[in-house]
Structure 1
């Protein structure tokens, strides 16, 4: 009998679905790199899954991949036509307007006007009419090449900012784009990045606060608060936190439960389902334990007082793995602020302004975004490193200290 895989079944199934969704445009190694596994591991999972009937998504109707693709394409075309400012040509100036008329645009800079017309009227006459000095005009002409170089450099910076903004699905604002530029070796001021984004109308996503949906079980005995709003840790696997959020899919709902390592902000366990039974949170904690190699004795897991987290089944799973439960107060989002902040960022970057209709597609997009968050998204609390980079730095520093 072969060795049991350390990865949960849900993770393996979603990884296979992510590879197949690429339609052969991405290699095993490229998809596996986003998930933190090897390409050969992913290849093995796909090979084992070949020929199996795709499981019907919970609560959804079964359909062939071709039918699902056709439906998604039709939905995309409908949204492009219905969404204001998205359709091709939306916002273009009217034909024949001054934007397209030759010579219609007038330069707002007087020095540029003087440079263009000095041969016809003479520098002295133009300076007298505009009330400026001739020395300023000559200085402007002498620095023309330097200005052109600055404009070219600025255009290159704006192009790189647009590329980073697009690579991260329009979610990054000035701080994270600045961190990404610095990691690429470009020396640029953060305020300059903000200014270039502002004048070029490049904006990250923002989301309004949403109300909490925790349903407390008043009959169950709560666990003590071992965190007391101190969401910091210097060592991995000492403090975790988690919560549940909801995602609207058509006329129904899907639910996501997460487990986050407070030290590195990495999502080490998650589960997606169309119900809020206790299995949702126990599956997430089991995945987190497997991701950390099974040795998590003594770790503190902080949650709210939702019915799933105070249930007897969840308490038994925590007891079996040596996990110490911690709970905040009822009705106080600040007592679980880190998990609340994570869900707010996820909904802002992935779900804001979208109307999801397919449960299978929603599950795939959530899985893809969580992999992106762990390995590519820069985190402000980590000095704009990604959670995976931060953990690697911690492990390297610990190894060097042991050698020393």
Structure 2
């Protein structure tokens, strides 16, 4: 076994059925088989280029003793700021509405065009939820394939809260979980730097207006994208010329 690396060691264990199988703990948060209208995906995984251009909503689960409770989140896709949240015993449309109302009440740029992006769960397709979005002139967008990449910002935030801010723990009761959540949201929004926001905290990035400053990360991504498209066109032209 001298010189056997970690990956090779685990591969050896797996091949001989010696790995301890982990018990997966998860709760179902998305029910997409319902009678309500499912809206098209208007975001198409594109990057937000200013605050309050795209909001992403999602529901994740938190453990207390022997049952699950649920966390409804609304996050700004540009700044990564948590703009609305609600911790609830049941993942109902009303709980998601509470998080949405919090987000709407704290808008910094209410005149800007805003798109709300979510999965096709019954909470987000419900009449009451859709009505609030429409009354506030917020465009509705929903994922189509069920892939986590279609709502990557929301999925990433869920992981950060659980891995970095103790929300993956089993709490003794709802009150303790809520206290930890409030603390986590405050620290995350005001102190956690993001590479995608040029190492600014979500709160700092959210204060950047569209024409003032675009994070260098987005500038580099846009430049690389244009360079790739240019090379692709050149390759196509060269191949066509060779064929002729």
- Aligned counterparts of 1:377 and 1:223: Cα–Cα separation in 2: 33
Q: State how far apart, in whole Å, the 2-side matches of 1:241 and 1:212 are.
A: 19
Post-superposition Cα deviations, 1:333-352, rounded to whole Å, max 9, x if no partner, equal 11111101110111111237
Q: Equivalent of 1:215, from 31, 44, 54?
A: 31
Give the number of equivalent residue pairs: 190
1:366 match: 181
Residue 192 of structure 2 corresponds to 377
Alignment of 1:1-400 (within 5 A): 213-230=29-46, 232-292=47-107, 295=110, 298-351=113-166, 354-394=169-209, 397=212
Q: CA deviation at 1:213?
A: 3.7
- On the 8 A contact 2:118/2:141 being kept in 1, the answer is yes
Change (3 A) 1:254 1:266: same
RMSD, aligned α-carbons: 2.4
TM-aligned CA deviation for residue 221 of structure 1: 1.4
Equivalence for 2:222: none
Distance 1:378-1:388 versus aligned 2 partners, 3 A rule: same
Query: 1:261: how far off?
Result: 1.0
1:314 Cα offset (Å): 0.4
Contact 2:51 2:210 in 1 (8 A): no
Partner of 2:217: none
Write the distance in 2 (CA, Å) between the matches of 1:338 and 1:259: 10
CA distance in 1, matches of 2:144, 2:211: 37
Deviations 1:177-197 (A, max 9, x none): xxxxxxxxxxxxxxxxxxxxx
- Deviations 1:335-387, CA, capped at 9 Å, x for gaps: 11110111011111123763211210100100110111100011121122211
CA distance in 1, matches of 2:107, 2:208: 17
Structure with larger Rg: 1
User: Which has the larger strand fraction?
Assistant: 2
TM-score, normalised by the number of residues in structure 2: 0.71
Structure 1 range deviating more: 287-296 or 330-339: 287-296
Query: Is the alpha carbon distance of 1:294 and 1:396 closer, same or farther for their aligned partners in structure 2, counting shifts above 3 Å?
Result: closer
* d(CA) in 1 for partners of 2:144, 2:162: 24
Give the whole-Å Cα distance in 1 for the aligned partners of 2:149 and 2:198.
22
Question: CA, structure 1 residues 373+314, in 2 after alignment: closer, same or farther (shift >3 Å)?
Answer: same
Higher share of residues assigned helix:
1
Structure 1: stretches of 5+ with no match in the other structure? 1-207, 399-404
Range 218-227 or range 308-317, more displaced: 218-227
Structure 2: gaps (5+ residues): 1-23, 214-244
Aligned pair in 2 of structure 1 residues 393, 277: CA closer, same or farther (>3 Å)?
Answer: closer
Structure 2 equivalent of residue 202 of structure 1: none
- State the structure with bigger RCO (CA 8 A, min sep 6), 1 or 2: 2
Change in CA separation of 1:220 and 1:353 when aligned onto 2, cut-off 3 Å = closer
State the SS of the aligned residue for 1:351: coil
Measure how far apart 1:397 and its partner are. Answer: 2.9
For the residues of structure 1 that align with 2:125 and 2:207, how far apart are their CA atoms? 34
